[in-house]
Amino acid sequence: MTQNRTTRLERGRSALGPALELVHTGRAPTRAVLTAELGVTRATAGAVAAELEALGLIQVDSRPTAAAGSQGRPSHRLSIAPRGPVVLAAQIHADGFRAALVGLGGRLVATAPGCMTVPADPARVIDAVVEAGAGLLRESGRRCLGAGLAVPSAVAEPEGTALNPIHVAWAAGAPVRDLFAESLAKAGVPGPGNVPTAGFTGNDVNLTALAEHRHGAGRGARHLLCVATGHRGVGGALVLDGRLHTGSSGLALEVGHIPVNPDGRACHCGSRGCLDIEADPLAFLTAAGRVPGPEGSLLQQSRDLLRGEYGDPAVRAAADLLIDRLGLGLAGLVNILNPDRIILGGLHRELLDADPERLRAVVADRSLWGRSGGVPILPCTLDHHSLVGAAELAWQPVLDDPLGALG
């Protein structure tokens, strides 16, 4: 009897993480769906939901209601606890930084942008973004369970160093993970157990892909390829069966350095005509004959130009040129990776919106797997997806073991 009870409790505990992940990613809106997804009895699913509610992570609607128009038995609705814990998310980009508090479900609770010329000393901007985040935490009064940082560079594993921060002025190999941990300790940002958190650090486009896979346009894809511009440059990422594919040392999917224009401009990587400099916001402005202005990031300026002046033949021609280059790069990736979905972020999302048929035609025409099947190409749907992805890194220990992280 005692043994049976212990076994049941252990089984219940091992289901807490998967159950929380289902609610977190919106895949279990009701207790009935949770029961089916977990493959457990209704009693076990009820106990698991009650435990997550007791931990302050989710809310179980006490009065079961049937979904509108449904014939099925009414079920308790599950949602993220509205005043539940948050994590601190931070992003550094070519034009400054942004701090945010992010709840479960990928929800932005509060955010604070900061504009600055990113200093050559990464400690200064990391301190600034962590201080901004710590300020948001104080104002909100919410419990903090960790922190994540998105940087515009590949992050080498296991060292946690920024290997190619070419669009910010940092030296290659800047120890961003250690610097983030020092800033978090200085600001007293807590993690699970209320002790200072060391935080997690990742590449911004990797984190975009992770966020979109869990909460956005990548949901349900098994081989998700993400390609996106930041404020400068182009990055890529692959999510395989729900996990980021980062390669043997964190450096996989450096898609920005695929050559798409053999006679193109010299790239900072030493090659020529890379996607990174031939299909980013600066390349678009230049191709349209525009000189970047002082107001707004290059990404914002190129977005405004594409949306506002698409009727201008020079803007249209620049968009066509970048779509063709992007399509060429995507076709090469489709041949190598055989993704079941491609999602595009930053300026690439805007280019897809401007002329989806042209981009899809280039990819289909130039790729073997594209010709034989046609890979869906979709725009990213989340605002601030790198921040949401940075938060996912911080949420992961809680998703893996809610009781261990909060108990």
Binding site for Zn ion (CB under 5 A): 257, 267, 269, 271, 274
Q: How far is the CB of 258 from Zn ion (least distance, A)?
A: 8
Question: What span, in angstroms and rounded, lies between the C-alpha atoms of 27 and 13?
Answer: 20
Neighbours of 28 (CB within 10 A): 24
Q: How far is the CB of 270 from Zn ion (least distance, A)?
A: 7
Q: Which is nearer to Zn ion, 50 or 269 (by Cβ)?
A: 269
Q: How far is the CB of 85 from Zn ion (least distance, A)?
A: 41
Q: Which is nearer to Zn ion, 267 or 331 (by Cβ)?
A: 267
Q: Which is nearer to Zn ion, 140 or 271 (by Cβ)?
A: 271
| Crossing angle between the packed helical segments 176-187 and 122-140, to the nearest 10 degrees | 40
C-alpha torsion angle, residues 182, 183, 187, 188 (rounded to 10): -40
In DSSP terms, 235 is beta-bridged to: 228
Q: b/e map of 111-123 (b: 16 or more CB within 10 Å)?
A: bbeeeeebeeebb
Asked if 256 and 234 count as a contact pair (C-beta separation under 8 A), the reply is yes
Q: Which is nearer to Zn ion, 267 or 351 (by Cβ)?
A: 267
| Crossing angle between the packed helical segments 313-337 and 298-308, to the nearest 10 degrees | 110
Would you state the structure tokens that stand for residue 310, as one six-digit string?
A: 């698409």
Q: Which is nearer to Zn ion, 346 or 402 (by Cβ)?
A: 346
Q: How far is the CB of 268 from Zn ion (least distance, A)?
A: 6
Beta pairing class for 144-151 and 200-203: parallel
Segment (H or E) for 268: none
Would you state the structure tokens that stand for residue 370, as one six-digit string?
A: 């594209």
Q: How far is the CB of 267 from Zn ion (least distance, A)?
A: 3
Q: How far is the CB of 276 from Zn ion (least distance, A)?
A: 5
Would you state the structure tokens that stand for residue 131, as one six-digit string?
A: 């201080």
Question: What span, in angstroms and rounded, lies between the C-alpha atoms of 118 and 230?
Answer: 15
Q: Which is nearer to Zn ion, 166 or 318 (by Cβ)?
A: 166
Closest CA relative to residue 221, chosen from 244, 239, 199, 202: 239
Q: Which is nearer to Zn ion, 108 or 269 (by Cβ)?
A: 269
Q: How far is the CB of 386 from Zn ion (least distance, A)?
A: 21
